[in-house]
Amino acid sequence: MKKKYLTYAGIVSAAILVIMFAGILLTGTFSLFSSVTIDPILDHPAGDLVVITGTTNHMAGTVLELDIVAVSPAPGTNPSAGATDAFIVRGGGMSNTWSAALDTSAIPPGEYLVKAYWVNETVRSDLLATSRLTLTGTKPTLTESPGTGTNQTVYITVNPPGTIWRGEKLLITGTTNLPEDTGLLYAVIQQSNTSVFTVDPKTGKQEVRGGSTRTGLIHVLPGIDGVNRWSFAADTTEFIPDQYQVIVTLENISTENIGKEGPSGTAPLIVKEAILDSAASPVPENSPCQVITIDAFPDKWINQTYTITGTTSFPPGTELLVQVFPMEYDLTINMGIQQPAAVMSGAVGTVTVEKGNGSTSLWSLTLDKGRMDTDQQNYLVNISNDRIDNRTYETIYGDTFCSKRLVLPG
């Protein structure tokens, strides 16, 4: 009997090994028991994009759900601060990796727990892993929410995300004059019916993957000088290389009616295939429009003013030099003004950087319609850390700038 018992044990062991081997071939992992780990999360200022990563033995192509829960919520408040999806991709060895992008703009400073669950169709697993997330800083109260009375034209702008590598996590942002906490709908839509054919290098499994639409609900955040802001995190792990359109609207409208019904903003996003075993070339810190950015311009005058805004990594209190001048004329500088305003011969002035959300600061300038040359439509906006010598009026050049063409609306 002992020999038979050992024989049966050997058969069972061999069967388990076969199952394990088949599982590893098919998924890159062995998932008889669920396993999820969360990598340590560094402290972040509230408002930053936080990328959360980890490992798991669940197969590539599936999704984890991350809940963000306050450690010590105020009495009578909802402890949940948000949720996001984490996409699992094939890793090396016996485990796969996962990552998620979390926009903390609407999450106040404090201590939070990140709770990970595995989602299979409509069924969510028991809690698999937790990690602590600390958001630092004091959320600023920058401006009162602008009104949206009958005399104001509501607008929404989207800052173009540009071209990125597939798998990148980014914060897509924009501006609006809608009041704080107004709900907005966003969508990231593939612009063609392109699909990609992939072959798993480990298993030889063939798969045709198509693009998909990402949608969600976000809320307007406080901004500067009557211009509020919005943002959402985008994780392009599951995207395929193609051109996409980012759409943000106040109302749920069909794609063909964007720009025709209700306020909305759009911008293109191009996703390129990442080159294996090669990181994207880093962008130098002092390259144009990196340390200082200029938000997308609204396409309407708001009453008699036109407010231009942007972000910067310079600390609050920093003075930046702003120049606005028509592109069809030589620049003649009107010295001695503190608040910039554009005239036909051009203008120059300084703006003071103000506290924003997270590690991002804000700046703004307001143009007066009555002081603009109505015969000119094309202007250049340039902002930099240059400064003017008050004695000689000479420009002392800095190392950071951003320029953008401004076509004045009618």
Could you report the per-residue pLDDT of 39-69, keeping only the tens digit for each?
999 999 999 999 999 999 988 888 999 999 9
Give the pair of three-digit tokens for residue 329.
């004329």
**95, 55 in Cβ contact below 8 A?**
yes
- Cα–Cα distance for residue pair 130/133, rounded to 1 Å: 10
Number of other residues whose CB lies within 10 A of the CB of residue 223: 26
Could you report the per-residue pLDDT of 288-315, keeping only the tens digit for each?
888 999 999 887 766 677 788 999 999 9
Could you report the per-residue pLDDT of 135-150, keeping only the tens digit for each?
998 766 666 555 555 4
Query: Nearest-CA neighbor of 86 among 45, 44, 128?
Result: 128
What is residue 40's predicted lDDT score, i.e. its pLDDT? 95
- Cα–Cα distance for residue pair 320/362, rounded to 1 Å: 11
What is residue 4's predicted lDDT score, i.e. its pLDDT? 53
Domains and CATH numbers, the chain: 36-136 (2.60.40.10), 156-272 (2.60.40), 292-407 (2.60.40)
- Using CA atoms, how far residue 200 sits from 44, 55, 88, 197, 408, in Å, is 36, 19, 15, 10, 51
Number of other residues whose CB lies within 10 A of the CB of residue 407: 11
Give the pair of three-digit tokens for residue 275.
């080159």
Element (H, E) at 216: strand 214-219
Average pLDDT across the chain, whole number: 80
